[in-house]
């Protein structure tokens, strides 16, 4: 099953959420898990101990090659990484020229024989790459900061997905970087009571400094870790249906 973490805008905690969900899949559910980093910035790859040693990520995708040779072990047991590199910056142009809308879905189908869960860290924006990812995914987690602009970004994604032909992907909005001391955040939480919420925590910033998922930095009883675990349980239930 493939879970994409996607937003049309940056700065919403997308990459850290992707890393933490991949950690939850491997550490809590004990599933063979792959984090596929398709964001050229490579933040998720970096947190999981990867260095951009090559520039072959784009070529392996566009030439329909075997990407498994690029997969590396992470610093978390049971979690592997298909890392990003700078070549992905021009992946959109390549997809546009190829005209093959299911290239990523085809590659993912080959990877599914080795992994029970694939978590994709998507680049921000409505692009040819995001279109490919939406077609390949079983569930799309959309981190949303409790603010008007972030909400508007979610509406844009819904409209985009609704206008596509064929099977509709399931969107799962999640409040990210929640500060319950802020009146605006509290109001949005009340408006969408059923949405999961990931709290604002300094440990999320420490992730990139110490290059570890939040579950490796804090006790599992910590509120931020528990929020990630609860979200992952909801995702697993959704996938089972």
Average pLDDT by stretches of 10, the chain with 241 residues? 88 93 96 94 92 72 76 93 85 69 80 92 84 86 84 82 71 91 88 91 91 92 93 93 80
Look at phi and psi of residue 171 and say left if phi exceeds 0, alpha if psi is from -120 to 50, else beta: beta
CATH number at residue 211: 3.40.50.300
Closest CA to 34 of 13, 48, 52: 48
> How many domains does the chain divide into?
1
**Per-residue model confidence (pLDDT) at position 54:** 66
pTM value is 0.91
**Per-residue model confidence (pLDDT) at position 241:** 80
Residue 197 to residue 143: CA distance in whole angstroms: 9
9: domain range? 2-240
**Per-residue model confidence (pLDDT) at position 184:** 87
Largest Cα–Cα separation, the chain: 50
Residues 145-165 as b or e (16 or more Cβ within 10 Å = b): bbeeebbebbeebeeeeeeee
Radius of gyration of the chain (CA): 17
């Amino acid at each position: 099953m493939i879970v994409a973490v996607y937003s049309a805008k940056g700065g919403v905690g997308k990459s850290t959420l992707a890393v933490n969900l991949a950690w939850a899949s491997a550490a809590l559910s004990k599933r063979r898990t792959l984090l596929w980093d398709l964001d050229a910035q490579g933040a998720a790859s970096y947190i999981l101990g990867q260095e951009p040693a090559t520039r072959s990520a784009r070529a392996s995708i566009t030439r329909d090659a075997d990407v498994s040779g690029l997969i590396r072990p992470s610093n978390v047991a049971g979690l592997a990484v298909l890392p990003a590199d700078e070549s992905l910056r021009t992946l959109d142009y390549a997809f546009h020229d190829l005209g093959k809308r299911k290239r990523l879905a085809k590659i993912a189908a080959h990877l599914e024989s080795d992994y029970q869960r694939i978590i994709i860290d998507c680049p921000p924006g409505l692009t040819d790459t995001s279109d490919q990812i939406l077609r390949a995914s079983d569930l799309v987690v959309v981190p949303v900061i409790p603010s008007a602009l972030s909400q508007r970004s979610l509406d844009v994604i819904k409209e985009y997905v609704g206008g596509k032909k064929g099977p509709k992907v399931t969107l799962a909005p999640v409040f990210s970087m929640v500060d319950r001391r802020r009146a605006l955040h509290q109001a949005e939480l009340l408006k969408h009571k059923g949405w999961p919420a990931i709290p604002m925590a300094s440990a999320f910033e420490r992730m990139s400094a110490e290059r570890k998922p939040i579950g490796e930095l804090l006790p599992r009883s910590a509120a931020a870790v528990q929020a990630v675990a609860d979200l992952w349980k909801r995702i697993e239930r959704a996938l089972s249906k």
